[in-house]
Structure 1
Amino acid sequence: MSGNGKKRAPLVAERRHSGGKPATKRKAPARRKARPQKRRGPLGWIAAVIGGILKFIWRLTWRLGAVVAILLAIGVYYFASQLPPASELVDGRARGSVTLTDRSGDIFAWRGDQFGGMITVDSVSPHMVNAVVASEDKRFYRHFGISPRGIASAIRINLRAGRGPLSGNGGSTITQQVAKLLCLGEPFDPQEWDSEAAYEADCRRTTLWRKAKEAVFALALETAYTKDEILTIYLNRAYLGAGARGFEAASERYFGVSAREVVPAQAAMLSSLLPAPSSRAPTRDLQRAQERANVVIGLMEVQGLLSASAAQEARENPATLSPNARQEVGGYFADWVMASGPEFFTRDTTEDVVIRTTLDPAIQLAAEDALAWVFENKVRAGSEAEAAIVVMSADGAVRAMVGGRDNTVVQGFNRATMAVRQTGSAFKPFIFAAALELDFSPLDLVNDVETCWNTPGSGQWCPQNYDRQYKGTIDLVQALAESRNVPAVVLSEDVGREVVRTVATGFGIESDLAAGPALALGVSESTLLEMTGAYAGILNGGSSVTPYGLVELRLQGDNEPLMTQGGGIGERVIRERAARQLTYMMHQVVQSGTGVRAQIDGWQIAGKSGTTQAARDAWFIGFTGDYVTGVWMGYDDNSPLTGVTGGGLPADIWRETMTRVLAGRAPTPLPMQTPTGGGTTVSGPTNLEAPNQEILNVLEGILSGG
C-alpha cells in the first residue's frame, strides 16, 4: 500500500458520456404512461374461458395419465408375477377324455375334450402358424399385446351393424384371446362352478370392465412370455369343435394326422374354425368348411405367407375328413359304454383314457342304414314313431346299437338301453324254455280253447288270442309259432309261474315280473338290450350272458391295460338239449308263424315277435348261427302304433339289418334239435295261488348242478 499520508478524494468519473461535459445530476426517468386496457369483447371472453378449461384439462389429464400409467404398471407387474412357465398352461382341462376304438382297434368315437399332446411353434407345421397368424392377428409379431387399430375397427363394424360397441367383432389380438383362454388367471374351481361349460361361458363374458382387465392381462402376458410362447399356449388351448382342444387334437380328429404334418389346405381349415368351432366343424358341413378355408388361404397369400402356386394347389386340393371322422357311427353305443364303465375312468375321468370295445363298424352301419331305409320306404311320412336295434354275439358282445332314428345325438335318450317297455309275446320263449327244461316235448299237446282263470282279488281273467280264434288241441311247436295266448298261459300255469320267473331271471330279465297268470303274456317290462341278451342265452346253448361293450381300458400312452373284460357268458340256465329244442321251435316261428317276414334266403333263422296291448310296443328278436338281433318299435309317449305288430315293421327292420350284415357270408346253420316223441297233453286251467313247488325244486336242482 503506498501513499504520502494525505487523504485522497474518492475517484469519480468526470465524464460519463462523450462530449466531455461535466457530469450533472441525473433526472429521474419519466414514468411511462399506462397502456390503456383493451376491452374484451364476447369472443375474447369465450376464448379466455376455453383456454382456461383446456389448461385445466391438460393439467388434469397428464396427472390422471400418470396415475393410470402407475396403476397399469402395477397391474401388469402383478399379473406377470403370478404367471407360471408357459409349458404349464398348454393343457387347461379340468377333466380327461375318452377315446373309443372298435373291435379292430380303430377309433370310432371320442368323449370329453381331447388333448393330443403339447405342440410348440417350432414343432408344429409352419403352415399352421402362418394360417393362424394370417386369419387371427396379422400384426401379432409387431404389437405389444393389444391393437388399438383393431379395437377401433371392431367398434366401427359393430356400430354399423346396429350392435353395441362390444357386441360381435372384438378386435382381440391373439394375446388377448390367450388371456380369455386363461380366464384372466382365474382357475376352474368345481366348488364354485356347476360345470366347466358354465366356467368358460363366464370367461367369455364381454363387459367394459372385463375388456379393461383383459388388456392389462394381455400386457402381462407380453411381459412374461415371448411371442412364440404366447402363440404356443394358443395353439394348445384353443377349442376347435368336436371335443378337440388344441390344434394337435383337432388335426388328429378331423384328418387323422399330427398338426406337425398338416399341409396348407388342412391348416387353413383348422384356422377357419376358431371364430365358431362348434358350428363350423367340418363334420357338420365339409363343403362350407372348405369354402371358409379358401378365405384363409387367400389371406395367407396376400400377406406373403404362402406363394401363389402353393395357394392355388391348396384350393385345387381342399382338405377332406379322415375315414374315422366321416363315419360318425356308434354314438348310442359309445354313450352306453361310457355309462356302463367305471365312472372314475369314463364320465368323471381326470385322465386321458382309451377304451377298446366290441363294436363292429360294418354291422353298426348296416343297422343304421336298415333303420333309415325302412322308415323312408315303409313308414308314413311325418311319423314320430321310434325304433331301436341291438346286435350281439352269442356271448353277449354287443356289435351294434341304434338307440333311435337320429344317430347324431350325443348323450340322448337311448331306447335300446333306457326304454323300459312291456315285452308282449317276446316273453313267451322263456315259458317254453322252462317246460322243455322239465322234459316237456315240443310235440306235447295243449288245448287252445276259451279258458278263464280265477285270480285272487281280481276275479275271473279270460285271455284271448290275437286273432280272436281258438284252434283246439295243438302241439307246443304250433302254439309258439302262431303265438297263441291261451296255450302260453296254460303252459305257464302248468309249469308254475315261479319256474318261469326263475328261467327268465336266469337269462337276464332283471325287471320285476308280474305275479299273476298274465305273466305269460309279457305284461312285465324290460329293455331291448336285456331281451336281446336273454335270447343270446338260447343261441349259446342255454347259458346266461351279460351284454358287454368294454373289452379293455388303458391310459393314453400306456401299453398295459388297467382293466379287461372277457366273454359275457355266465351260469347255465337250461340244459343244452332244451335250448336246441327251443331253437327249433323258434325257427318254426320264422318258417311258418308270425315271423315269416324275417326270412332271408339261404339262412336258418329263429326268432319271436311280440306285440303289447293296444300295440304300444312291437318287438322282433331273432338269431342266426352267429348273431342275435333285437328290434323294438313304438312311440316315446307310449301312444299306440297304427297297424303295426312285431311280425310286421320290426321284422322288416330285422330282415333289412341282417341282410346287410350277412351279405357275402357263408350261411351258418342254427344249433337246433328236431323233436321226437311227445303227445302228452298239457293240463288245463288251474287256480294256482302258490307255485308248483315240486317242479320248482326239480328245476332249482338242475340249475344248481344237482
Structure 2
Amino acid sequence: MESPLEPRKRRGRLAAGLLAIDAWLDSSLYELRFRAQQFWENATVFFRRFRVKGWRRGIIELLSEAFTLGAGGSVVMLALAMPAFEETTSDWRNQDDFAVTFLDRYGNEIGQRGIIQRDSVPVDEMPDHVIKAVLATEDRRFFDHYGIDFLGLFRAMSENMRANSVVQGGSSITQQLAKNLFLTNERTVERKVKEAFLSIWLEMNLSKKEILQLYLDRAYMGGGTFGIAAAADFYFGKQVKDLNLAEAAMLAGLFKAPTKYAPHINLPAARARANVVLTNLVQSGFMTEGQVLSARLRPADIIDRGERKSPDYFLDWAFEEVQRIAAKSGVHSLVARTTIDMNIQRAVEESLEYHLRQFGKEYGVTEGAVVVIETNGAVRAIVGGRDYGASQFNRATRAQRQTGSSFKPYVYATAMENGFTPESVISDAPISWGGWSPKNYTRGFSGRITLTTALVKSINTVPVRLAKENLSIPPIKAMAEAMGVESPVSSHKTMVLGTSGLTVMDQATGYSVLAQGGVVGTRHGINQLVTHAGQVVYDFNKDALPPRRVLSEQAVASMNSIMVQIPETGTARKAALPGIRSAGKTGTTQSYRDAWYIGYTGNYTAAVWLGNDDFTPTNKMTGGSLPAMVWQRFMAYAHQNIDLKPIPGIENPFVDPATVAKADEAAKAGAEAAATDAADRPPVLSSTTTRTLRDIATFFQQAPAIEPPPEPNTLSAL
C-alpha cells in the first residue's frame, strides 16, 4: 500500500524540476541577450570605421538607394522579359520553309508566300552601295549599338520635336527584325517592351551580318514582295547584284512605308523618297555629294507591272492554313487553290476605305477589319487593316477586341437550346450579380418583355438575368466555343455582355452557324493543295473533317426569326439591304473603343470591326452606325447577279414591303444611297459551272500528250 507521503514527494520533485527548467531558461535568455548586446557593440565599433561624413556620406546614400532600386528593377525587368523570350521558343529560323503559290477560286494566281519568292542573296555578295543605302536610312549606327540605339533614338526625338511631326523613326534594324520575326505591328506598350528585350536577345544569339541578312530577306517591300531580292526582280527585273545606286536608293526607301512609296503605284513619290535616301548617304558620311550626283540626275525607272494589288492579309492567313494542313505531308513546295473571290475582296477593301475616308475623322476611328464567309464555309474575303504596307498586323485574325452586345446571340442561342422560345417573357428590371449591376444603354427599364424584344432592342439586363437565373456561365462559354470561337472566352459573369476579346474571324465563324442551319466545321480558306507536278496533297471535300451540328433546327429558326428583325426595325437599320432580307447584330464596347456589326443572309456571313489600334475611344461610334454602313455597301454588291438563298427558318429571302415601311425612313434612304453608290458586280459563274470547268481543265492537263504522226521521209517519197 502506497504511503500517504508519496504523492507529496512526487509533487515536490515535479516542482523542483520545473524550478530548474525555469532557472535554466532565465539564465539562457540572459546569456543570449548579453552575447547579442556584446556582438552588436562589437559590430558597431567595427562598422564605425567605415562611417563617412559630409559629401562622402551623400555618395554612399545614393549608391545604397541605387542598389536597392536596381535589385527591385532587376526583378521587374525579369518579369517583363519572360513573355518576350517565350516568343523565341518556336522554330523561327525555318518559318518560311514552305514555298506556296496561291490561286483564287477561279484559278488565277494572286500571290506567293515562303521561300519561293526568291533565293536569299548573301550580304557579302550584295553591292556595297545597296548595304550603305539601307544603313544610312534605317540604322546608321547598326554596327555600333547592341540592339537599341539610344543615340539614334534621341536624335529622332529631337528631329520630330523640331518638325512637330514624326519625320524620323528611332527603331534600330534589330528592333525592326524582332518585330517582323516574333511580334505584330499592334501599337501597345507590351509590344514595345517585348521588342526591346527580343532585340537584345537577337544581338546575343546572332552576328550583325546574320541580323542584317534576315532583315533584308524578310522585310515587306510592297507589291506583294518580301525581301530585297524579290523587290529587285519585281520592280527592276534585276538581281540584287546588278542594282545601280539610283535603284538601290529607291529600294532602301521602301522599308519605311512600302505601300506609300511603292514605285509601281506612285513613281514620283518613290523617286522623291530615293532622293532622301541619297541625302542620307551624304549626311551619314557613307558617300560624297559627287558620288550620288549621277543617281540624282538619273532616277531609277521600273518595269511596268500595272497597279497589281494582292490580297496580302488573306494570303498571310492562308499561308498559315497551308502550313497547318501540309505539315505532315512532307511536301513544302505547293500550289494552293484558295476560296477567295477577288471581286468581293476588292468590294470589301473599297467599302472600308471609303467609309473611313468619309467619316473616320468625324467618328475618331482609324482602323477596321472584315471577314466574309459564304454559307458553304468558304472564306471569300479578309481585310486585316487599311494599309498592309504600313502595318502587316492582321486585325481580322489576330486582334482580340471586346465584342460588346454582338456577343449576346451566343447567350440567346444557349437559351433556345434550353427550352426558351422567342416569345418567352423575362423581366427587364434592375439586377445585381456579386456587386455588378449592369445598366441598359437608355438607362431605363421596360418591365416584362419577350426575348425577341430584348435582343432586337439590345437590352443588357435580360442576357444577364438569363445567365444568372437560368443558364449559368459554363454552358454559354461552351456554346460560343462549339460555334467556332477559337479565342479564349472568359468565364467571368461580365462575359455575357461581351467583355471577352474575340477576333473578327471568330465572330464571322460563329454567326455563320446561324446562316448554315446550325452546322459548324465548314469554314475553310484552302480548297486544294497540289504539287507542281499536279499531285493532289489535300482536298477539302475529301480530307476535311465532316461538319457537325451544334444547334438544333428549332433553335436556329428561333434565333433567325429574331435576328432578321434587327436590320429592319432594330439597332442595325443602316445595314438593311435593298430588297433582300438579312440578319445581324450590332456591338459597342465601353467608352466606344470598339464597334461591331456581324450580319448574314442565306448566301454570305460578314463581320465588321472598327476601332483604333491604341485602344483610344472613338467619337461615340456605335455598331449600328459606321460598321453597319460598311457592311451594307459591300454586301449589296456581293448579292448582285446571284441566286438568293433564304436564311434557315425564314422562307422568303426578299424583304416584305410592309415591314420595310415600318423602318426608319432616314436610315432606309441612307442605305439605298450607299447601295446606289456601290459599283455593279459583274455576273459570276455558279459553283456548279465553275467546278465543271475546273474538272475539264484538270482532265486536259492530265491527259497524255498525243504524238504527231511521223514526218514522211523526203528521199523515200521521191
TM-score (norm 2): 0.53
The alignment of Structure 1 onto Structure 2 pairs a total of residues equal to: 432
Give, in angstroms, the shift of residue 513 of structure 1.
3.3
Give, in angstroms, the shift of residue 494 of structure 1.
1.4
CA distance in 1, matches of 2:567, 2:245: 56
For 1:529, the aligned partner's letter is M
- Matched residue SS, 1:198: helix
- For residues 636-684 of structure 1, what are the alpha-carbon distances to aligned partners after superposition, in whole Å with 9 as ceiling and x for unaligned? 122222211111111111112212222343543322248xxxxxxxxxx
- Matched residue SS, 1:342: helix
Residue 509 (structure 2) pairs with residue 533 (structure 1): yes
Do 2:370 and 2:383's aligned partners in 1 also have CA atoms closer than 8 Å? yes
Give, in angstroms, the shift of residue 422 of structure 1.
1.5
CA distance in 1, matches of 2:363, 2:575: 25
1:675-686 counterparts in 2 under 5 A? none
CA distance in 1, matches of 2:115, 2:486: 35
Do 2:363 and 2:618's aligned partners in 1 also have CA atoms closer than 8 Å? no
- For residues 437-456 of structure 1, what are the alpha-carbon distances to aligned partners after superposition, in whole Å with 9 as ceiling and x for unaligned? 22321111111122223x2x
Corresponding residue of 1:393 = 374
Residue 603 (structure 2) pairs with residue 607 (structure 1): no
- For residues 286-339 of structure 1, what are the alpha-carbon distances to aligned partners after superposition, in whole Å with 9 as ceiling and x for unaligned? 689999xxxxxxxxxxxxxxxxxxxxxxxxxx96426xxx34131111111223
- Residues 512, 279 of structure 1: CA spacing in aligned structure 2 closer, same or farther, 3 A cutoff? closer
Residue 567 (structure 2) pairs with residue 590 (structure 1): yes
Do 1:443 and 1:477's aligned partners in 2 also have CA atoms closer than 8 Å? yes
CA distance in 2, matches of 1:200, 1:416: 27
CA distance in 1, matches of 2:211, 2:224: 14
Corresponding residue of 1:517 = 493
Corresponding residue of 2:611 = 634
For 1:97, the aligned partner's letter is A
**RMSD of aligned C-alpha atoms?**
4.3
- Matched residue SS, 2:633: helix
- Residues 384, 523 of structure 1: CA spacing in aligned structure 2 closer, same or farther, 3 A cutoff? closer
Do 2:250 and 2:270's aligned partners in 1 also have CA atoms closer than 8 Å? no
CA distance in 2, matches of 1:633, 1:95: 34
Do 2:364 and 2:618's aligned partners in 1 also have CA atoms closer than 8 Å? no
CA distance in 2, matches of 1:530, 1:446: 29
For 2:316, the aligned partner's letter is D
- Residues 624, 106 of structure 1: CA spacing in aligned structure 2 closer, same or farther, 3 A cutoff? same
- For residues 349-386 of structure 1, what are the alpha-carbon distances to aligned partners after superposition, in whole Å with 9 as ceiling and x for unaligned? 99543222111111110110000110111221794531
**Which of 467, 477, 482 is the aligned partner of 1:501?**
477
The structure with more helix, counted as a fraction of residues:
2
Give, in angstroms, the shift of residue 113 of structure 1.
5.1
CA distance in 1, matches of 2:326, 2:209: 18
- Residues 95, 511 of structure 1: CA spacing in aligned structure 2 closer, same or farther, 3 A cutoff? closer
1:575-586 counterparts in 2 under 5 A? 575-586=552-563
- Residues 104, 278 of structure 1: CA spacing in aligned structure 2 closer, same or farther, 3 A cutoff? farther
Give, in angstroms, the shift of residue 284 of structure 1.
3.9
Do 2:365 and 2:610's aligned partners in 1 also have CA atoms closer than 8 Å? no
Corresponding residue of 1:548 = 524
For 2:476, the aligned partner's letter is V
Identity of aligned residues (%): 32
1:305-316 counterparts in 2 under 5 A? none
Residue 652 (structure 2) pairs with residue 668 (structure 1): no
Give, in angstroms, the shift of residue 282 of structure 1.
4.9
Do 1:395 and 1:536's aligned partners in 2 also have CA atoms closer than 8 Å? no
For 1:595, the aligned partner's letter is A
Corresponding residue of 1:12 = none
Corresponding residue of 2:534 = 559
- Residues 647, 287 of structure 1: CA spacing in aligned structure 2 closer, same or farther, 3 A cutoff? same
Do 2:574 and 2:625's aligned partners in 1 also have CA atoms closer than 8 Å? yes
- Residues 552, 466 of structure 1: CA spacing in aligned structure 2 closer, same or farther, 3 A cutoff? same
CA distance in 1, matches of 2:482, 2:215: 49
Unpaired runs of 5+ residues, structure 1, are 1-93, 118-150, 152-190, 204-238, 260-267, 292-317, 675-706
For 2:589, the aligned partner's letter is T
- Matched residue SS, 2:547: strand
- Residues 241, 482 of structure 1: CA spacing in aligned structure 2 closer, same or farther, 3 A cutoff? closer
Give, in angstroms, the shift of residue 403 of structure 1.
0.7
Give, in angstroms, the shift of residue 625 of structure 1.
0.9
Return the structure number with greater relative CO, CA threshold 8 A, min gap 6: 1
Corresponding residue of 1:59 = none
Unpaired runs of 5+ residues, structure 2, are 1-95, 120-128, 130-204, 255-261, 273-301, 652-718
Give, in angstroms, the shift of residue 568 of structure 1.
7.4
Do 2:228 and 2:251's aligned partners in 1 also have CA atoms closer than 8 Å? no
Do 2:473 and 2:493's aligned partners in 1 also have CA atoms closer than 8 Å? yes
Corresponding residue of 2:454 = 479
Corresponding residue of 1:198 = 212
Do 2:518 and 2:553's aligned partners in 1 also have CA atoms closer than 8 Å? yes
- Residues 345, 195 of structure 1: CA spacing in aligned structure 2 closer, same or farther, 3 A cutoff? farther
Give, in angstroms, the shift of residue 420 of structure 1.
1.0
CA distance in 2, matches of 1:611, 1:655: 18
TM-score (norm 1): 0.54
Do 2:603 and 2:644's aligned partners in 1 also have CA atoms closer than 8 Å? no
Give, in angstroms, the shift of residue 283 of structure 1.
3.0
- Residues 341, 474 of structure 1: CA spacing in aligned structure 2 closer, same or farther, 3 A cutoff? same
CA distance in 1, matches of 2:334, 2:252: 23
CA distance in 2, matches of 1:445, 1:382: 37
Corresponding residue of 2:104 = 102
**Which of 393, 404, 425 is the aligned partner of 2:385?**
404
